[in-house]
């Protein structure tokens, strides 16, 4: 039977930071985004509110800046190799993130079968952002369920990789989960836990393991 591997982006595939942070560093608005990150974690704003404010800060965003930020991000080692092995096994891999889709979707070129992020206007921005297109933690479960249907697997054959509060609901919905450099929100929920900089080592925890019983 096949499996679906669902990867978070910020703090998971990108080590210790998030796509909006690496983009904002390129645009010179890092302090402003750090304050928004703090407010988001404190519950003072929600993901749509965060996205609206980030969109306003990124007036100078271009495709070149996005490409530079993507290339400069502190990626875990071995991402392409893990996804190539998943494909060779006849399994599926996807990235689901609250970060902008125009950043997340670049990972399709690395071998992901699917990549889903929050819906922002095309870069450079000429249109306002629609808060309805911004993903939430609950949306991760919905998208994982849709991907399972697309690829013909059940949530009991889904492996989730994540690091923080936005992954709690997904970890609760799947049978197997891997906490990657995780905080206290998911560290105690995960089937497996990994600390380090190489996705190959995290993947090895589940590569040949049978699925855990659904909770």
pLDDT at 214: 43
Q: Is the pLDDT of residue 124 over 60?
A: yes
Query: Per-residue confidence at 211, pLDDT binned at 50, 70, 90?
Result: low
Instruction: State how far the Cα of 25 lies from the Cα of 65, in Å rounded to an integer.
Output: 10
> What average pLDDT does the segment 80-100 reach?
97
pLDDT at 210: 61
In tens, the pLDDT along 15-25 reads 999 999 999 99
Instruction: State how far the Cα of 23 lies from the Cα of 29, in Å rounded to an integer.
Output: 9
pLDDT at 209: 72
Helix (H, G, I), strand (E, B) or coil at 38: helix
Quote the tokens at residue 190: 């995960």
Let me know: does 23 contact 65? Beta carbons within 8 Å. Answer: yes
Does pTM top 0.85 for this prediction?
yes
Helix (H, G, I), strand (E, B) or coil at 76: coil
Bridge partners for 77 per DSSP: 198
> What average pLDDT does the segment 146-172 reach?
95
% of the chain at pLDDT higher than 90: 91
Quote the tokens at residue 119: 């819906």
Query: Cis link prior to 132 (omega < 30° from 0)?
Result: no
Quote the tokens at residue 192: 């497996």
CA 70: distance to chain centroid?
A: 14
Let me know: does 170 contact 162? Beta carbons within 8 Å. Answer: yes
> What average pLDDT does the segment 40-55 reach?
94
Instruction: State how far the Cα of 208 lies from the Cα of 59, in Å rounded to an integer.
Output: 46
In tens, the pLDDT along 165-196 reads 899 999 999 999 999 999 887 878 899 999 99
Longest dimension (CA), the chain: 48
Question: Given strand 4-7, what is the order of strands in its sheet?
Answer: 114-118, 92-100, 4-7, 158-162, 176-180, 192-194
């Amino acid at each position: 039977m096949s499996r679906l591997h669902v990867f978070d982006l910020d703090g998971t595939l990108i080590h210790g930071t998030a796509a909006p942070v690496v983009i904002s560093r390129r645009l010179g608005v890092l302090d402003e985004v750090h304050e928004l990150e703090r407010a988001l974690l404190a519950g003072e704003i929600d993901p749509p509110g965060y996205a609206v404010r980030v969109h306003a800060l990124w007036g100078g965003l271009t495709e070149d800046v996005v490409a530079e930020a993507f290339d400069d991000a502190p990626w875990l080692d071995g991402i392409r190799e893990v996804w190539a092995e998943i494909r060779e096994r006849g399994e599926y891999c996807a990235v689901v993130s609250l970060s902008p889709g125009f950043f997340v979707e670049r990972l399709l070129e690395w071998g992901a079968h699917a990549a889903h992020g929050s819906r922002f206007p095309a870069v450079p921005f000429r249109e306002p952002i629609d808060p309805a297109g911004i993903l939430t933690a609950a949306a991760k479960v919905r998208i994982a369920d849709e991907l399972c249907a697309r690829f013909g697997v059940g949530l009991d054959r889904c492996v989730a990789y994540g690091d923080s509060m936005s992954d709690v609901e997904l970890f609760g919905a799947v049978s197997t989960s891997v906490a990657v450099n995780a905080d206290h929100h998911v560290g105690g929920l995960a089937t497996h836990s990994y600390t380090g900089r190489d996705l190959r080592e995290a993947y090895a925890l589940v590569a040949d393991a049978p699925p855990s019983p659904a909770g």
